[in-house]
Amino acid sequence: MADQALSSVTADDVQRLCGEIAAWKLAAILDLKPTMGELTRAAARAGGQDEISDDPHQLSGMAAQVYDVLMSDEEFEDDR
């Protein structure tokens, strides 16, 4: 079970934890290669289920990067 927590997540994992999200967000999260634990923490914070702390900046590292993608409102395009 510890090995599963350390392996990168799949598209199914992201959709199960984050619900229906934009395809570009799914791709961005998969590109980050977070662990299941990092994805779980980010998804809980994004969904307002993180009751551990009221500090919105407590996430760090990869979990914070995944959270930023989840909370982004628009896709950043290279050709702007």
Q: What is the pTM of this model?
A: 0.75
Residues 6+ apart with CB under 8 A from 30: 8, 9, 10, 11, 14
pLDDT of amino acid 47: 83
Residues of the chain with pLDDT under 70: 1-6, 49-57, 74-80
List C-alpha distances in Å: 63 to 21, 33, 42, 70, 80. 17, 11, 5, 11, 28
Distance between CA 55 and CA 77 in Å, rounded? 31
Distance between CA 59 and CA 39 in Å, rounded? 11
